Amino acid sequence: MEELLYDLIDWTKAIKIINSEHDNPHSLLGAHVTEKGILINAFIPTAVHIAVKITGSGQVHSMVCKDKEGFFSVIIPGNKVIPYTLIVTYDNDFTEEIRDPYSFEPVIDPMDLTRFAGGIHYNIYDKLGAHRMEINGVNGILFAVWAPNAVRISVVGNFNNWDGRRHAMRRLYDSGIFELFIPNLKSGEIYKYEIKIKGGLIVLKADPYANQAELRPNSASIVCNLNEYEWQDGTWIQERAGKQYESEPMSVYEVHLGSWKKPPVKDGREFYNYRELAPMLAGYVKDMGYTHIELLPVMEHPFDGSWGYQVTGYYAPTARYGTPSDFMYFMDYMHAQGIGVILDWVPAHFPRDTFGLANFDGTCLYEHKDPRQGAHPHWGTLIYNYGRPQVSNFLLANALFWIEKYHADGIRMDAVASMLYLDYGKKAGEWVANIYGGNENLEAMELLKHLNSIFKKRKDGSLIIAEESTAWPEVTGDVKEGGLGFDLKWNLGWMNDFTNYMKCDPLFRKGRHGELTFSMIYAYSEKFMLVLSHDEVVHGKGSMINKMPGSTEQKFANLRVAYGFMMSHPGKKLLFMGQDFAQYAEWNEAKSLDWDLLNENQNGKLNRYVKELNKLYRSYKAFYQLDYDERGFEWISCMDADHSIIVFIRKTLILEETILVVCNFTPVVYKNFLIGVPFAGKYKEIFNSDKVIYGGNGNTNPRQKQSKKLESDGRDQSISLTVPPLGIAVFTCTPVIPN
């Protein structure tokens, strides 16, 4: 028997397995039919005895130890592989019966490998990562990872004492994917991949496709089943697919979950759980009248101070606030309350943490090798190699993953400009031109077009939004016509101009009047979303209230007219948390919002004002139905820089739904101020930011105005009204039909 076994064993392979250097251990381990019978080999370090138990007959065959490191073999009569288990006794006298992980055929289909190699496997997340499944009646977990340049990869965790010799994976053909099915492993196990790279160095890596991760500072991946949660939002998803977002109201509340509200200090916890946050946040958002929330990245990240924008676990919601099922509950609850959820997503760069994607298999696998292409010098992060199909597939599938698995209503893509420009944030000599000598990242452009095309084909109502900070053309243009294909683009040009204008002392605003009106020159070049986001209230920029000039009373009045103008301007809206009750302090991710300010007179009134503003916005179609149609907006007066007053109308295709908006950006009350109106009719004030209930002084227009045939602002008809100081007044317009 000894000599027969020796002759049957391929010792070249055996030595590589013993030395943890074989990338296809299944070719030797497990059961193999030979001319002499069925050869079964097992390599289990620290085992002192192993026996093979035939599943059908119960017969037991002792294996022979062929190497003291734990290599055992036995030859069994027969000409067909049959099911068996291994009875293993270890050097601590512990004995267990296990299914041999090397007794299973490959699981991932060759077609999956082909699609992934071509960058078009849009649900590759169902194949790579760790997934519970049943094979030949045996339950277990299939692990799969892409690391083409690895010498050997093993799955390690508590279940095998983090011993990389025990569960070496098999390389699937020339795909660069390694897989291993480990029987009887259950959800909740922590694991990493132990990768031996060329040169012999061993590194431990978290699973790029892991669905759950440990709470920082720990960094292991966790086996997780995403198919156990029972969703209740079928009606929401169905109705969403039938909506036309361009003509729907969209007022977004931007939220960082960890600092929106924190548990009392006495609780001894850093954060609320997703399930605890859901009713609290939904209650506030619903009461305030927002249509959506947008979450700063909830994907797993190691550093709190990155706010989630330096991701290490792209397929795992952060453990800071709970488990994947907890986050599913959060999303489900929001939908039950009629609130859409947009998730921030970061495909522009990733951090250098050694357990993450950086230098994943000993080579620059996800990033470019040349640091001029693969690194952001100012951010200290790495740039994806978008031209590598498997890398682009990782990102394409990830965006779709959050729509499919977590029912997200939209993805807001961060830092798109840094993807589009090869020289973004770089000096001369720090970047490499494209094949045409330009600074456009052609591979990133293709990725964005590809992704947006897929989103459009889904026709499920989910949106994809770009934060693009330059004047790159046709960001929301049709891909078929050369555009990038996004649904919406953040209007950062408007944000910069408008905040600069609002920070200026009203005495000098007339000299900057163009900053107020310039946005309408290009308003229809893209499908814009107007934003006052988290980026505007950090890094010494001050909170929104503290950007405003003047006395405390004037600061609040300035903020009211600013929010009013934003809400009535064409485009969807976004406001960062805390700014709707005028938090004084800059946002700090380590602290809760200053909710006590709601008890303060001015702050509480401003909060009520924003609530009423959202209600106004959602109540009148003119504010949103033709956001991206030039017929939806018309200037009445945009040249009155001396008074810093602008007047415009918002329209639908129905004349009776016209809304008149008057904004005054000086602290002066104008009585009997004459403005032109679009047609003869009655004009009724329905909203005024200077109401006492909002913290103003009551300079309103309580009586309905009848237009007169008196020319003003180039119009035949006009009305005389009280224009509130640092205020906005909104009127419905009812045309009078001549006899």
3-class DSSP string for 46-73? CEEEEEEEECCCCCEEECEEEECCCEEE
Q: Is the predicted pLDDT of residue 4 greater than 70, yes or no?
A: no
User: Could you give the residue ranges of the DSSP H alpha helices within 209-256?
Assistant: 234-241
Say if residue 199 is exposed, middle or buried (CB neighbours under 10 Å; 0-12, 13-18, 19+). exposed
> What's the Cα-to-Cα distance from 284 to each of 111, 142, 254, 288, 543, rounded to whole Å?
48, 42, 13, 6, 21
What is the arithmetic mean of pLDDT over 706-715?
Answer: 95
Q: Is the predicted pLDDT of residue 461 greater than 80, yes or no?
A: yes
CA–CA dist 520, 596 (Å, integer): 38
State the helix-helix crossing angle for 601-619 and 552-568, rounded to 10 degrees: 10
Give the chain's length.
Answer: 739
pLDDT of residue 231: 98
Q: Is the predicted pLDDT of residue 621 greater than 80, yes or no?
A: yes
CA–CA dist 257, 209 (Å, integer): 23
Q: How confident is the model at residue 67 (pLDDT cuts 50, 70, 90)?
A: confident
28-42 confidence digits (pLDDT tens): 999 999 988 999 999
Give 401 or 56, the one with higher predicted confidence: 401
Domain 110-222 has CATH 2.40.50.140: no
- CB-CB neighbours of 295 under 10 Å: 24
pLDDT of residue 103: 95
What is the arithmetic mean of pLDDT over 53-77?
Answer: 92
What is the arithmetic mean of pLDDT over 638-645?
Answer: 96
pLDDT of residue 153: 97
Q: Is the predicted pLDDT of residue 475 greater than 70, yes or no?
A: yes
pLDDT of residue 63: 93
Q: Is the predicted pLDDT of residue 737 greater than 80, yes or no?
A: no
Q: Which fold has domain 628-735?
A: Immunoglobulin-like (2.60.40)
543-586 confidence digits (pLDDT tens): 999 999 999 999 999 999 999 999 999 999 999 999 999 999 99
Q: Provide the b/e sequence for 516-535 (b: ≥16 CB within 10 Å).
A: bbebbeebbebbbbbbbbbb
Catalytic positions: 414, 467
Q: What is the mean pLDDT of the chain?
A: 95
pLDDT of residue 725: 98
Residue 682 parent element (H or E)? strand 681-688
Q: Is the dihedral of CA 699, 705, 710, 716 positive or negative?
A: positive
| Residue given tokens 């078929």 in the structure block | 480
Q: Is the dihedral of CA 610, 613, 619, 623 positive or negative?
A: negative
Question: Rounded to 5 degrees, what are φ and ψ at 371?
Answer: -60, -20
pLDDT of residue 148: 97
Contacts of 214 (CB under 8 A, 6+ apart): 190, 220, 221, 222, 319
What is the arithmetic mean of pLDDT over 247-258?
Answer: 98
Contacts of 627 (CB under 8 A, 6+ apart): 246, 247, 527, 570, 571, 572
To the nearest 5 percent, what fractions of the chain are helix, strand and coil?
30, 25, 45
What residue spans in the chain does CATH classification 2.60.40.10 cover? 2-103, 110-222
pLDDT of residue 6: 62
User: 248-490: what CATH class?
Assistant: alpha beta
Kindly report the pTM of this predicted structure: 0.95
CA angle 112, 114, 116 (to 5 degrees): 70
Quote the percentage of the chain above a pLDDT of 90. Answer: 94
Q: How confident is the model at residue 738 (pLDDT cuts 50, 70, 90)?
A: low
Q: Are strands 251-255 and 572-576 parallel, antiparallel or unpaired?
A: parallel
The C-alpha R_g of the chain, in whole angstroms, comes to 32
383-421 confidence digits (pLDDT tens): 999 999 999 999 999 999 999 999 999 999 999 999 999
Select from 472, 453, 473 the least CA-distant residue to 464. 453
What is the arithmetic mean of pLDDT over 277-289?
Answer: 98
pLDDT of residue 266: 86
Q: How confident is the model at residue 3 (pLDDT cuts 50, 70, 90)?
A: low
122-139 confidence digits (pLDDT tens): 999 999 999 999 999 999
Select from 604, 400, 414 the least CA-distant residue to 492. 414
Q: How confident is the model at residue 114 (pLDDT cuts 50, 70, 90)?
A: very high
pLDDT of residue 499: 97
Q: How confident is the model at residue 2 (pLDDT cuts 50, 70, 90)?
A: low
CATH superfamily for 2-103 is Immunoglobulins (2.60.40.10)
